[in-house]
Amino acid sequence: MPRTPKRIGVLTGGGDCPGLNAVIRAVVRTADIDYNTEVVGFIDGYEGLVENHHRLLEQRDVSGILSTGGTILGTSNRADPFNFPVLQGEEYVKMDMSSQAVRNFESLGLDALIAIGGDGTMAASQDMIQLGVPIVGVPKTIDNDLYGTDVTFGFDSALITATDAVDKIHTTAQAHHRIMIVEVMGRNAGWLALGAGMAGGGDIVLIPEIPYDIDTVVETVRLRSSLGKTFSIVVIGEGARPKGGEVVVKRRVANSPDAIRLGGISHQLAAQLEGLTNIECRVTILGHLVRGGAPSPFDRILATRYGAESVHMVMRGEFGRMVGLHGRDLEAVSMAEVAGKQRQISLDHEWIKVALSMGTCLGNPSSVTLDEYVKV
């Protein structure tokens, strides 16, 4: 019979989001209460494992953090052990520090590692698994774009924040008779934009999965005006782009595994709409606002379930897997199936169908089917 793990590590990688602390709390409490097992927390994600920065986590350390946003361990989206930025002189050079990470893991006497993060963290974790590190993954991201689970924790909290912003934009749009454009995060997936647009009553919702036809957007605004509707609300994902056009890159981060930072498509759209409709446009980019604040009750419960189940998976020896939610049940998903994949909205998804039934403009002409339009 294999030995019961007595010391496990935990880290939070990638971008922050509401619910990370809830997972950490669940990991520590479940490990202690159910298994009398120590938990070591690594500081700033995989950076802590590479540089051996860590702290012992006891129950008193996680008391009162369930409702707190962010992460008490810190995080980093530049700390891939296989492409780790190392300062040499005045420049950073990416080096393979994975062997050092493995040595640190072994020197701490750890039996397993719980990696909480999105697709970048899962990809790095899969590579570490190939080096023999026993890892269990926990799916996190406000973008909801992680393969292998129906929903990631953090998404619901971000959706509430984004929807609240769209709600508030309505009153000022109506008062000044403007086109108001709200840009939200989401990278190459439109879950957050579509969700906030539907929940907030957006008239036009533009997502990465459906490149928008500017003439269709203009036609929608003009139609609303002809019906006596003196304003329009546009919700747009940062990764949206016009048909035949490119995404708008806000900046590039040289030391990051994913160097491209999207943002600013709303300003491009606003300039076009003002010129074509002669209606004043205003832009609100929510940015990191949607990452902050306390997690929603749904996310607190989901994060707690994920955290507790990840410890149970460690004890069952289910390494190389990520805990995922399918329907109402938690399941162990192969990390190899998750790594390197992104979960976008399929064109036949219920949200797409309902949005179209509500008369929401998704940027596609009504003269052709959605499938045909996107394929062209």
Residues with catalytic roles: 143
**CA distances to 149, 207, 291 from 323, in Å:** 8, 28, 22
Contact 180, 173 (CB under 8 A): yes
Contact 49, 104 (CB under 8 A): yes
Q: Is 278 left (phi over 0), alpha (psi -120 to 50) or beta?
A: left
Going by C-alpha positions, the residue among 34, 54, 36, 35 that lies closest to residue 44 is: 54
Maximum pairwise Cα distance, the chain: 75
Write down the number of H helices and E strands in the chain.
12, 15
Tell me the C-alpha distance between 163 and 180, whole Å.
14
Tell me the C-alpha distance between 356 and 200, whole Å.
15
Strand partners, 260: 252
One-letter amino acid identity for 78? R
In this structure, how many other beta carbons lie within 10 angstroms of the beta carbon of residue 124?
A: 28
Tell me the C-alpha distance between 237 and 235, whole Å.
7
With a CB cutoff of 8 Å and minimum separation 6, the contacts of 320 are 126, 129, 134, 135, 334, 335, 336
Going by C-alpha positions, the residue among 310, 334, 302, 300 that lies closest to residue 39 is: 310
Q: Kind and range of the H or E element at 269?
A: helix 265-277
Backbone angles phi and psi of 334, in degrees to 5: -60, 130
